[in-house]
């Protein structure tokens, strides 16, 4: 293929960052990844800090490694775009230096969020912006104003994490509706910043960047960014979008009514809608989609994928050693073991992700319940692996039921994408628990593919983002639900919900540590 017919996507997830190279038609050529974590600030309960300096070095390592793996020089990349976890925010001074940054799950602003709830402002923000104040910017900005007043006075620019990557590459500030909406400071109906919410937080609207459509060029790659990333100076840097919404774009899910399950660090059950559909019970969240005139409602399963990574690292040394011997991913070996276990994990009940309730999204202390110590051969590690996968599917079923109640339309088919869909067992568990047909795309890294499609349009390789998405979408396999297994899971789901609620009550009493406690809960 001729030079400058390739594009790069930079993807910032909760648990890792990636750089991927695609050709102009959406075929993945190379990928590099680095895992990361977000440290707490000493003495600040609930805090998580996004290390802009250290994480930028990891991102640059990924871009260089992806180029090396592809065998391409930086000059072969026609454009680069970005995507990221939602909600994380970065604040800058007048010289463009990062003052403050956090990832999506920072929950230090508990007192400020509670005040917003008690005053009624949280509900007003939700009705206009589509998300609660637990992990969005309003409460965080009020926290900074109260606890770091000197820093707050120096804030000249603000943006989300995906915007930060674009700014690092170009020196230009910009956002798109899907990313900007995750701040909780948007007017969903107008798909732009809400002056009323911004002023509530003590800032001026001109602090926030211009809203641009995905697929538009923000600016050229700077000489400094070129030296750091291995890309060529002047390469067009293109506006991308939020991770889940670009994940939908990457698999061609651009039509109202289409339901998708994105199984990454978090698991999102989503539906595309043609209006800003706000849940009157404030359970789900609604954000702008990446295409004009579209929105997306979603339920989020907390740490669905990260729970599996935790179990791998904490308990699966044997599986990791076997995987190294066979030169496969440890998750392959883990799923092989779990596949030998019957639905219900031989009585072990997993307590991890809760069904979302945006206005009070409390997560119970993580646990496995129901071990049979008299039969260790049927009540051990492989049962736990299956239980972790069933846990994420149970939460997704709860979200699917809410979506059906809001839209009034039954769901018969979903697309399952993201890291969780790479396995052979997890997609079948999802099909059996949800009782729907599950289609798995060829490209599992659909979020990065969505960003790559934006880059391709920005580079002029294609001229229609929605049309390009539909053309490149290809599906590898379809999983049909087993009616008998689905019936069994229907009962197991009800038991899981009851166990979860009882353990949640214990957690709320303060006896054990929650998996996560959102601000304002």
Whether 15 shows a pLDDT value over 90: the answer reads: no
Q: What is the mean pLDDT of the chain?
A: 94
For the stretch 366-389, pLDDT in tens is 999 999 999 999 999 999 999 999
Whether 227 shows a pLDDT value over 70: the answer reads: yes
Task: Name the residue with tokens 């774009």.
Answer: 249
For the stretch 133-168, pLDDT in tens is 988 999 999 999 999 999 999 999 999 999 999 999
Which whole-number Å values give the CA distances from 172 to 194, 224, 456, in the listed order? 21, 14, 20
Which whole-number Å values give the CA distances from 133 to 116, 181, 286, 488, in the listed order? 8, 13, 13, 37
Choose among 310, 488, 489, 338: nearest CA to 424: 338
Whether 352 shows a pLDDT value over 70: the answer reads: yes
- The pLDDT of 235-254, averaged and rounded, is 94
Which DSSP string do the residues of 103-115 spell out, in sequence order?
-TT----HHHHHH
List, in order of start, the domains of the chain with CATH numbers: 6-251 (3.30.420.40), 304-353+363-440+480-508 (3.30.420.40)
Q: 216: helix, coil or strand?
A: coil
For the stretch 427-486, pLDDT in tens is 999 999 999 999 999 877 789 999 999 999 999 999 899 999 999 888 999 999 999 999
The pLDDT of residue 14: 85
The model carries a pTM of 0.87
- The pLDDT of 114-125, averaged and rounded, is 95
d(CA 6, CA 494): 49
Whether 1 shows a pLDDT value over 80: the answer reads: no
Q: How confident is the model at residue 2 (pLDDT cuts 50, 70, 90)?
A: very low
Q: How confident is the model at residue 517 (pLDDT cuts 50, 70, 90)?
A: confident
Whether 4 shows a pLDDT value over 80: the answer reads: no
Q: How confident is the model at residue 361 (pLDDT cuts 50, 70, 90)?
A: confident
The pLDDT of residue 418: 85
Whether 125 shows a pLDDT value over 60: the answer reads: yes
Higher pLDDT, 265 or 509: 509
Q: Quick one: tokens of 480?
A: 């049909």
d(CA 445, CA 473): 12
For the stretch 277-309, pLDDT in tens is 999 999 999 999 999 999 999 999 989 999 999
């Amino acid at each position: 293929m001729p030079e400058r017919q390739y594009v790069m996507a930079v993807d910032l997830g909760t648990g890792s960052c990636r750089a991927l190279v695609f050709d102009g038609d959406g075929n993945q050529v190379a990928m590099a990844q680095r895992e990361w974590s977000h440290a707490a600030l000493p003495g600040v309960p609930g805090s998580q800090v996004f290390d802009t300096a250290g994480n930028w070095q990891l991102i640059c390592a990924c871009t260089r490694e992806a180029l090396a793996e592809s065998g391409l020089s930086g000059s072969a990349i026609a454009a680069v775009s970005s995507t990221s976890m939602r909600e994380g925010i970065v604040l800058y001074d007048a010289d463009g230096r990062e003052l403050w940054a956090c990832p999506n799950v920072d929950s230090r602003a508990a007192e400020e969020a509670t005040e917003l709830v008690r005053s009624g402002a949280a509900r007003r923000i939700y009705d206009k912006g589509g998300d609660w104040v637990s992990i969005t910017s309003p409460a965080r900005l009020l926290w900074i104003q109260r606890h770091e007043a000197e820093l707050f006075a120096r804030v000249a620019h603000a943006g989300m994490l995906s915007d930060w990557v674009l700014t690092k590459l170009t020196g230009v500030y910009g956002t798109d509706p899907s990313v900007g909406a995750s701040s909780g400071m948007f007017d969903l109906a107008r798909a732009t910043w809400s002056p009323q919410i911004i002023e509530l937080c003590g800032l001026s609207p001109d602090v926030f960047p211009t809203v641009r459509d995905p697929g538009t060029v923000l600016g050229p790659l700077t000489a400094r960014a070129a030296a750091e990333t291995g890309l060529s100076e002047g390469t067009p840097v293109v506006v991308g979008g939020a991770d889940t919404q670009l994940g939908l774009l990457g698999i061609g899910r651009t039509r109202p009514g289409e339901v998708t399950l994105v199984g990454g660090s978090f698991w999102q059950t989503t539906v595309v809608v043609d209006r800003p559909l706000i849940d009157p019970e404030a359970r789900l969240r609604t954000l702008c989609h990446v295409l004009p005139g579209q929105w997306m409602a979603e339920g989020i399963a907390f740490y669905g994928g990260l729970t599996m990574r935790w179990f791998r690292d904490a308990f699966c040394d044997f599986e990791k050693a076997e995987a190294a011997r066979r030169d496969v991913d440890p998750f392959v070996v883990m799923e092989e073991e779990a596949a030998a276990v019957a639905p219900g994990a031989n009585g072990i009940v997993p307590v991890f992700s809760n069904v979302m309730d945006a206005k009070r999204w409390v997560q119970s202390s993580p646990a496995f319940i129901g071990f049979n110590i008299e039969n260790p051969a049927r009540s051990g590690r492989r049962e736990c692996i299956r239980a972790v996968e069933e846990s994420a599917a149970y939460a997704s079923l709860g979200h699917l039921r809410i979506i059906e109640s809001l839209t009034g339309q039954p769901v018969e088919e979903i697309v399952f994408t993201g890291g969780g869909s790479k396995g052979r067992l997890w997609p079948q568990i999802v099909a059996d628990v949800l009782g729907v047909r599950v289609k798995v795309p060829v490209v599992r890294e659909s979020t990065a593919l969505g960003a790559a499609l934006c880059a391709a349009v920005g580079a002029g390789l294609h001229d229609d983002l929605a049309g390009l998405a539909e053309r490149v979408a290809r599906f590898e396999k379809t999983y049909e639900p087993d009616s008998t297994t689905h019936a069994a899971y229907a009962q197991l789901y009800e038991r899981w919900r009851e166990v979860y609620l009882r353990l949640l009550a214990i957690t709320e009493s303060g006896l054990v540590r929650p998996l996560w406690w959102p601000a304002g809960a």
